[in-house]
């Protein structure tokens, strides 16, 4: 096994937000180890308005070790909320929905939309597919109509209060945890 440790971090102290196992590891070594253990689901985000929630979704994808994160549309996104967790994940960029859908098909992933639209199925009544990619839309408008038409199904997270929707970053964490609870625990 090659050396996974970074001498500079060992000498200066590793104050990165990583679990103890990865303390003093090189970034590339962490990324390789996580990729080897990644789950079979992916997450995707439509990025047409530079949504600030993308960073939170990426951080959640790291916490729940998604197989990859897909940014659809604009390449640039606000990384502040990700807290550098994108460094340890495979991040893919797709110029548009057609390119993303083609990638999902080639990789045998079922596209599952996450939105609280009228035609959606409640998460509680759904078993999330093992080999899937969960697509999140922009805060506010949700999934575009074009993306909705590419989805095999659309799930909604049940809510019991007065607000119309929950934050998309929060929704991503709920969906990923639900997948992990079903397939990895």
Q: How confident is the model at residue 51 (pLDDT cuts 50, 70, 90)?
A: low
Residue in 113, 140, 142, 145 with CA at minimum distance from that of residue 129: 113
Give the C-alpha separation, 67 to 42, whole Å: 5
Residue pLDDT, tens place only, 79-105: 788 888 999 999 999 999 999 999 999
What's this model's pTM, rounded to 2 decimal places? 0.93
- CATH 3.40.1280.10 spans which residues of the chain? 38-183
Residues facing residue 70 across a β-bridge: 44, 92
- From the number of C-beta atoms within 10 Å of its C-beta (0-12, 13-18, 19+), residue 114 rates as buried
Q: Is 162 helix (H, G, I), strand (E, B) or coil?
A: coil
Distance CA 150, CA 148 (A): 5
- Class of the CATH domain delimited by 38-183: alpha beta
């Amino acid at each position: 096994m090659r050396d996974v440790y970074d001498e500079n971090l060992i000498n200066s102290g590793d104050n990165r937000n990583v679990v103890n196992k990865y303390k003093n590891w090189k970034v590339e070594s962490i990324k390789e180890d996580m990729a080897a253990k990644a789950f079979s689901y992916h997450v995707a985000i439509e990025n047409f308005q530079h949504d600030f929630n993308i960073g939170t979704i990426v951080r959640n994808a790291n916490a729940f070790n998604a197989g990859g994160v897909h940014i659809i549309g604009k390449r640039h996104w606000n990384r502040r909320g990700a807290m550098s967790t994108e460094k340890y994940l495979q991040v893919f960029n797709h110029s548009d929905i057609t390119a993303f859908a083609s990638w999902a098909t080639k990789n045998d992933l079922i596209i599952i939309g996450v939105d609280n639209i009228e035609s959606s199925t409640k998460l509680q009544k759904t078993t999330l597919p093992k080999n899937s990619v969960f697509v999140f839309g922009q805060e506010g408008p949700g999934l575009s109509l074009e993306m909705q038409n590419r989805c095999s199904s659309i799930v909604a997270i049940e809510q019991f209060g007065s607000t119309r929707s929950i934050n998309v970053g929060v929704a991503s964490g709920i969906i990923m945890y639900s997948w992990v609870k079903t397939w990895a625990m």
